[in-house]
Amino acid sequence: MSIKNSMSIINRNIKVALLQFYTGSDKQANLQKVREFAAKALAKEPALDLLVLPECFNSPYAVDQFKNYSEPIPSGETTKFLSDLAREYNVNIIGGSFPELGSDNKIYNTSLTFDKRGEIVAKHRKAHLFDIDIPGKITFKESISLAPGDKATVFQLDNLCKIGLGICYDIRFPELAMIAARQGAGIMCYPGAFNTVTGPKFWTKFAVARAIDNQVYILMCSPARNVEGGGYQAYGHSMVVDPNGDVLVEAGHGEEIVYCELKPEVLDEARKNIPITLQRRFDIYHDVSKDAVAKAI
């Protein structure tokens, strides 16, 4: 399947804000931080179309804690909180991720997206679990407490555009972004919590690679690095990369809100100048989007 070069991939300029803040062990304090940062972002930019939260925004990023913070969807308090927030502020929200207690009694790292009416329009469970062992630097195994998701997630957000969604380690595997782009997405969003070992080495490289490979905007939203608080040290550096692979905005490692305006003409020009969407050779290699399990809910 080829996606034609078209201004309709993104219907108009989209104003986004990435909320990079500290998370800790107090769930209510974490939720209050979301509200404070959302209010601050909208006070500065009242016409924002989309807020993006970081991975594991309501809990510590710790494999031995995910179960303690897990909630059912849609009846859990975090789901209700985000729904109410989106409706109250009349803004779309990609709700980072938080531990979900599934109906199968398994724990998932799950992202929910809400429209301005507070309705859930997308649900993505992290498909690729972060199991690594770098001798002398870091060992981390999400599979100790988490189960993987089983689908790609591509959804239409209001009348703005289609968006693909992944979580953190999902970005290392190009297929999710390929599926999203082939199905008409103009944006790929990855809430993530890279650490201070993998972050400096890979965070920007992956964002740029996924942007160039698929000629889409890439949104990367991280927690802030809480050096004084101890525990897991997130890399930070939330960023937006355009379809040419240029980093448009980038945070530091502390608490910060990153603002950016995504312009349809940039995407359109990138695809017009180098028309890879029309040049793929699916006669000699497989189109992963044709048999992908990709749905919003």
Is 168 a residue of the active site? yes
Q: Are 116 and 87 in contact (CB under 8 A)?
A: yes
Is 263 a residue of the active site? no
Q: Are 267 and 240 in contact (CB under 8 A)?
A: no
Whose tokens are 């199905």? That residue is 183
Nearest Cα neighbor of 207 from 225, 188, 224 is 188
Largest CA-CA distance found in the chain, in angstroms, rounded:
55
> Would you state the structure tokens that stand for residue 260, as one six-digit string?
């950016």
What are φ and ψ of residue 180, in 5° steps? -60, -45
Selecting among 27, 33, 55, 250, the annotated active-site residue is: 55
Q: Give the count of beta carbons closer than 10 Å to the beta carbon of residue 25.
A: 14
Selecting among 126, 142, 250, 260, the annotated active-site residue is: 126
Selecting among 33, 71, 142, 168, the annotated active-site residue is: 168
What's the rounded Cα separation, in Å, for the pair 74 and 101?
Answer: 10
Which helix (H) or strand (E) covers residue 141, if one does?
strand 138-141
**Angle subtended by helix axes 77-89 and 27-44, to nearest 10:** 10
Residues annotated catalytic, as ranges: 55, 126, 168
